[in-house]
Amino acid sequence: MKNKSICLIFSFLLLTANTNAAELCGQAKQGEIVVGLAPGATEASLGSSTSLVDQDGVFLLAFGRDEQKSPILSIRDNKQQTNYTLDISEGAWDIQNIKGIPPRKVNPSDSDLRDIEFEQKVVRAAQETKNMTPFWKRGFIMPVEGRISGEFGGQRIMNGVKKNPHAGMDIAAKAGTEIKASSDGVVTLAQPDLFYSGNVIIIDHGYGLHTIYAHMQEMKVKRGDIVKQGDIIGLVGQTGRATGPHLHWGASANGTKFNPTSLLNINTANKFCFTL
């Protein structure tokens, strides 16, 4: 896969793309999201993750933290399926050793496990909505300003127990700091008191793309609300499993979690486009 051209603006792609070719715009790297264009396509899939494709052949494709080096992207239209072997660069992940967390947050009891199962269920359902309104084309901003206290993909060792890789990024800020919607979208979850996430909000930005905002002190929106980029959706807090006030900001596309900072350049002029 070669660097073909600079992706100037997304609408330009729709006007000039070769109808017999597929393109990806963005970084082909673990933890990143790219914009795909395959005119005439009805479905695009990478492994077990299937992307929603609009009438123009536009779709979003995320590469997870542990994405393999040469995954197969399958693009289908009404006549055939075409497979492309991608070349994915490796990410670099941080390892953190965190102590002082309440033991039940590291080694949950049977009762806690039931709460965790409930949390996984409601979060998963909120990230499976199928909205095809292209809210994401508005672009994205940081939801809150502060010190980055936890990077996406980092491996955390909590009280000596190795945990799953970090699925988002943590932004440390003073309790009560206002949190903004990073882009336009529909609120699919505004749930209080979850075991890990505390007070948490999920926003659907269309095409299978969702962002998550966890550990809030207070939530300012409810499920079903339509929000605009910059709207205040809550306040920074320390609810759920948290050792200090911060916002956990995460992102997923069609079930694949990726680095949310990748969204900050999703619709700008400095993206590289690759012809497959």
Q: Which CATH superfamily is domain 95-259 in?
A: Glucose Permease (Domain IIA) (2.70.70.10)
Indicate the burial class of 56 (C-beta count within 10 angstroms; 0-12, 13-18, 19 or more).
middle
Q: What is the pLDDT of residue 162?
A: 74
Task: Please report the pLDDT score of residue 108 as a whole number.
Answer: 80
For domain 2-91+264-275, the CATH superfamily is Expansin, cellulose-binding-like domain (2.60.40.760)
In this prediction, the residues of the chain whose per-residue pLDDT falls under 50 are 1-19, 269-270
Q: Is 153 left (phi over 0), alpha (psi -120 to 50) or beta?
A: left
Q: What is the DSSP secondary-structure string of 218-257?
A: EE---TT-EE-TT-EEEE-B--SS-SSSEEEEEEEETTEE
Q: How buried is 20 (Cβ within 10 angstroms: 0-12 exposed, 13-18 middle, 19+ buried)?
A: exposed
Yes or no: say if 26 and 32 are a contact pair by the CB < 8 Å rule. yes
pLDDT of 54-73, one tens digit each?
999 999 999 999 999 999 99
Size of the chain in residues: 276
The domain limits of the chain are 2-91+264-275, 95-259
Q: Supply the pLDDT for residue 15.
A: 35
State the pLDDT at residue 187. Answer: 98
Which pLDDT does position 6 carry in this prediction? Answer: 32
pLDDT of residue 185: 98
